Structure 1
Amino acid sequence: MVFRIFCCGLLAILLTNCKTAKLNRTLSSSLESSFYSEQFTGLYIYDIAKDKVLLNHNGNKYFTPASNTKIFTLYTGLTLLPDSIPSFYYESPNDSTITIQGNGDPTLFHPYFKDSTAYNLVKDYKHVNLVLDNIEDRRYAPGWAWEDFDSYFSPERSALPIYGNVVTVSNENSLKVAPGYFKEHMKIADDFYGRKEFENTFYYKKGRTKETEIPMIMKPSLVKVLLEDVIEGEVTIVKQGPSKPSELQYSIPSDSLYRRMMEVSDNFLAEQILILASSTISDTLSSDKARDYMLKNELKDLKQVPRWVDGSGLSRYNLFSPASFVQVLSRMYQEIDRDRLLQFFPVGGEFGTIENWYAGKDKPYVYAKTGSLGNNHNLSGFLITDSGKVLVFSFMNNHYKHSNNAIKERMETMFEWLRDNY
C-alpha cells in the first residue's frame, strides 16, 4: 500500500515536471523566433499554487514598463489608503469661514466621477480659504514628454484638483464646455484643437463633435476662479500653516478610484493616488515620499529594486523587471480577496484596455494591465487556465519596430496555448 502511494506520488511529480518542461520548450522556442530577434523581450510565469516559476526569459532584466507601473501604484493605494478617499482637511472657526487643505483627491467635479464632496461642504460659507502650497511635486514628473502638454493623458498634478484638471469640450449638437468658465474663451479653429503651451487658451477643431479633454495649467489663481464660479462665497488662497486643519473629509470609495485607473489606464488618477497615499505618512504631499516608503518598507524584499519615478508610467526613466511585477501581483493575490482584486484589472475580450484581445472561449481567462509607449508594449497580470490553475505573468516587449498588433497577436497565441495546455 505504501509502495503504491509512493509510486502514484512519483508519477504525479514526473507528469508535472514533463508538463512544465513542455511549457518551457514551447514558449522558449516561440521567444527565440526571428520575430523577437531585434527587440528586447521578457516573459516571467509563476504558478502561484505550486510556488513555482514555470518560465523565466529575461525575467530579471530591467524594462521600460509604461503603464504597468500602475500595478505598483495600485498596491501603494491598497496598502496606504483607507476604504474611502481622504479628500481634504478642513477647519471652520465660525459659520462664515472655512479653510481647506487638499490631499490630492482627483474626483472633485471630475468628468467621470463628478464628485461634489468639497462643494457640498463649502457652498454655504461666505469665506473659503484654500491651502494649495502643501505639495512638493512639480506639475509634471521627471521624464514626461514636453510635447504632451495638451494631450488628454497628461494633466498636471496638484494638491486640490478640480474638473480632473482638464477642460472637457464637445460639439455634437451645441458647444459644451466644462468647466463652464471657459466656454466664452473657447476658440474654434479650422485645423487644430488643444491649448497654447504656456497659457490657458483652448482650441476646438471646426466640425469636430467628439468629446475632448485638454489639460489646464493649474495656477492657484485659476482654482480660485473656478471654485468662485460655482459657489456663493469668496475664495482666498492662503499659505500652509505650521499644522494642517484638524478635520478630515472623505469622498468616494477608494476601490472606485483604483478600478477606473486600471480599466482605462488613467495617468492622472495614478499620479494623484500616489499623492493621496503620501498624505497618510507626511504632512507635505509628495509622491516621492510614497514611493520611497513603499520600497523601504512594504516592498523591501523585492528581488530587483526598480527605478520608480512616477505613478502612471508616462516617464521613460522608469525601469522594472518582469520578476518584480510578478512578485507584487502574487503578493496582492495572497493578501486581497480574489474577486475584489480581479475587478481592478482589464478583462480580456470583455472591457478595459484589452477588451479586443485575449478573449476566452466561454469565459474570461486573462486579467491584466497593459503598458504602452512608442515601440514598447507590456502586459502583466493573471491567467486562469482551463484546468483552473492561476498563473501570474509579466510579458514585456521593448524597443521593437513592429506594429503593436503584431506583438499582441503573438502574445495572444502564447496565452491561448498556456490556457489550453497547463
Structure 2
Amino acid sequence: MPVAFFRVFALLWLLPAAVFAQNNVPAAPRPAAPTLTWLEQLVRESKVLRLHNVGVCLTEVATGQQLFGLNEDRYFTPASTMKLFSLYAGLKLLPDSLPSLHYVLRPDTLLFWGTGDPTLLHGDVPSRRAFTFLQSRPEQLMYAEVPTVAAFGPGWSWDDYNYYFQPERGPFPIYGHTVRFYAKAGQLMPRVLPRFFRPLTELAPAGTPNPAEDHVHRPVLENRFTVLPSTGSWVDETPFRTSPALLLQLLQDTLRRPVLLAPLRLRPQDSVRTLRGLPVDSLYRRMIRVSDNFLAEQLLLLCASSLSADSLSTARAIRAVQRNYLRTLPDAPVWVDGSGLSRLNLVTPRTLVALLLKLHQEVPEPRLLGLLAAGGGQGTLRRVYRPVAGQPWLWGKTGTLTNNHNLVGYLRTKSGRLLAFSFLNNNHVATTGEVRREMERILTLVRERL
C-alpha cells in the first residue's frame, strides 16, 4: 500500500482531535486576587469554621477588584441570601407601586384576579387598597383563579407547613395566609385573627405533651387549630391551608358582600386594568430585613404577573431575569424559588458579590442600604455588628437553614472603603450562634484592617 495513503489516513485520523482541541482551548485564568494572608489564616485556622465548608469573597465596590477569595468559585446552599435575587427581579420587573389586582369591567360585573400581591390585610405590611376598591364597587364581584405555582416550592421541607415561616403561595393572598393567635398569661383561649378561624380553634386537653414547645398545631390537610398547653403571654402565627373556596369565604366574610367564582375567559373587547397598591420598597424592606419567606415568594409571582396577566409562574420570572439581566454573572446560579427555603438553590460566593455590585451600580446607595438589615439596627442583624460611634458599618442579608448559616452584604471599613462580601458556611455541626459569633469576629477585623 503506498506510503502516501498512510499519511493521508493519519492526517484524517488526527484532524478531528485537533479541531476539538482548538475549539476547547481553556480560557486564560483570571488574575489572582491579592492574597490577604492574615485573613486566610483566620478562616482556615478557626476552631469553629475549619470543621465545615466555608466560602468567602471580598471585593472593593468602587473598583470592582476582588481583594480576597476562598472557595469563591464553589457552589453553596445559599438559604435566604437568595432573597437578593428576588429583590433584583422586583427592581427590574415591577413599577414603583405594587400591582394589587387585575380586573375587567363588564355590564353589572367586575371580574378580578390576583397578581400575587401579598399585602391584602397582611399583618405586617397591610394594605386596604384592594379591600376598599372591592367593597365600594357597585357591580357583582366575580373572582377568577389564574394558573399559578404549587402551594409549596420545590425542595421545601414538607413538615415545616405548621410554622409561620412557610405559608402557602398563591395568586390572591389574604391575611398573609396565616392565622394569628394572641395569648395573655392566665387566659385559656387566645384571641384569634381573622375571626373566621375562631370556630376552628380548640384547646388541647390538659396534660397534652408538647416536646417542641409549639403554641398551635394544625393537621397537615385540615384547617383545624389546636392550642397546646403553654404558660405566659405569647403571639404566634400558623399558616392555613389555602383553596379558592376558602378564599371566597374569607373575602365574603370581610367585605360583607357576595363574591362568586368564575373562569378567567377574556373577551376581545375586554380591557384589562390594574389596581395599584403599596410602594414597592415597603415590601422589599420587610422582605429583606426580617427575611420574610412569604413576601419573597409572592414577589416572584408579582414579577411573573408583569410578564403575563393571566398566569403566575415563578420559573418564568426566574428565566426572564436570568436571561435578560444576569447573563454576566461569574457562575450561573441554580435558582428555583424566591425565598431560599429550597435546598435545591445553589450559588457561588463570587456570584453573590457580583450581584451586590450590580445592585450598587443600579440603585442609589442610600436607598439600597436602607432596604437591607443594618448591624445593630433592625431585622436579622439587630443584635450583632453593633454601630461604631453611632454609625452602622455593615448592611446585609442573612441566610440560615439547619447546618447552614450565611451572610452577604456591604461592609464599611475604618478607612472608609465600601466592600461587598459573601461569607457562606455550609454543613456546620457547631451551633448557628457559634458560627455567627466567629463570622462577626472575623468581619470586625476586616473592618479594622482594610
Q: Please say if 1:280 is aligned against 2:280.
A: no
Deviation (angstroms), 1:245: 5.7
With structure 2 as the length reference, what TM-score do the two structures score? 0.86
The aligned residue for residue 148 of structure 1 is: 160
Q: 2-side partners of 1:37 and 1:387: how far apart?
A: 29
Write the distance in 2 (CA, Å) between the matches of 1:117 and 1:78.
22
Alignment of structure 1 residues 120-199 onto 2, 5 Å? 120-124=132-136, 125=138, 127-132=140-145, 134-172=146-184, 175-189=190-204, 190=206, 191=208, 193-199=216-222
Deviation of 1:247 after TM superposition, in Å, equals: 1.2
Deviation of 1:89 (Å): 0.7
SS in 1 for 2:59: strand
CA distances 1:364-393 after superposition (whole Å, capped 9, x unpaired) = 111010000000000000000111110000
Q: 1:86 maps to what in 2? A: 99
Q: Deviations over 1:271-308 (max 9, x none)?
A: 00000001111231111101001111100111100110
Alignment partner of 1:221 is 2:245: yes
- Work out whether residues 104 and 112 of structure 2, in 8 Å CA contact, stay in contact via their aligned partners in 1: yes
What CA distance in whole angstroms lies between the structure 1 residues aligned with 2:274 and 2:73? 42
Structure 1, unaligned runs of 5 or more = 1-19
How far did residue 242 of structure 1 move? 3.9
C-alpha separation in 2, matches of 1:288 and 1:259: 23
Q: Give the CA RMSD over aligned residues.
A: 1.6
Q: Percent identity?
A: 35
Question: How big is the shift at 1:233?
Answer: 2.1
What does residue range 397-412 of structure 1 map to in structure 2 within 5 Å? 397-412=425-440
Structure 1 contact 369–380 (Cα < 8 Å) conserved: yes
Amino acid across the alignment from 2:53: F
Q: What's the offset of the Cα at 1:34?
A: 5.3
Residues 69-84 of structure 1 aligned to structure 2 (within 5 Å): 69-84=82-97
Given candidates 356, 381, 387, the residue that maps to 1:354 is 381
Q: For residue 288 of structure 1, give the secondary structure of its aligned residue in structure 2.
A: helix
Displacement of 1:232:
3.1
Q: 1:34 to 1:385 in 2, by over 3 A?
A: closer
Paired residue total: 400
Q: Cα distance, 1:187 vs. partner?
A: 1.1
What is the 5 A alignment of 1:25-44? 25-33=37-45, 35=47, 36-44=49-57
Q: Is the 8 A contact 1:40 1:399 kept in 2?
A: yes
In the alignment, what sits opposite 2:223? Answer: 200
**Deviation by residue 1:37-78 (Cα, 9 ceiling, x = unmatched):** 321100000001122100010111100000000010011111
Q: Please name the residue that 1:241 is paired with.
A: 265
Match of 2:294 in 1: 268
Corresponding residue for 1:14? none
The letter for the 2-side match of 1:252 is L
Distance, in Å, in 2 between the alignment partners of 1:412 and 1:37 is: 16
Instruction: Check 1:34–1:45 CA distance in 2 against 1; reply closer, same or farther (3 A cut).
Output: closer
Pick from 68, 73, 90: which aligns with 1:60? 73
Residue 374 of structure 1 corresponds to 402
Shift of 1:126: 5.9
**Which residue does the alignment assign to 1:9?**
none
Q: 1:341 offset after TM fit, Å?
A: 0.3
State the partner residue of 1:313. 340
Distance (whole Å) between structure 1 residues aligned to residue 306 and residue 255 of structure 2: 29
Higher Cα Rg, which structure: 2
SS of the residue corresponding to residue 89 of structure 1 reads strand
SS class of match (1:213): strand
Matched-pair contact (CA < 8 Å) for 2:148–2:171: no
Going from structure 1 to structure 2, the CA distance change for 1:32 and 1:87 (only over 3 Å counts) comes to: same
- Tell me, in whole angstroms, the C-alpha distance in 2 between the residues paired with 1:168 and 1:81: 30
Say whether the 8 Å CA contact 1:150–1:195 is kept in structure 2.
Answer: yes
Q: Secondary structure at the match of 1:280?
A: helix
Structure 1 contact 126–234 (Cα < 8 Å) conserved: no
Q: Which amino acid aligns with 1:241?
A: R
Moved more, 290-299 or 32-41: 32-41
Contact 1:188-1:205 at 8 Å conserved across structures:
yes
Tell me how far apart the structure 2 counterparts of residues 117 and 50 of structure 1 sit (CA, whole Å): 44
Q: Is the 8 A contact 1:107 1:114 kept in 2?
A: yes
Partner AA of 2:384 in structure 1: W
Structure 2 stretches lacking a partner, 5+ long: 1-32, 211-215
1:333-386 residue CA offsets vs partner (Å, 9 max, x unmatched): 011110000011111111110111111321111101000000000000000011
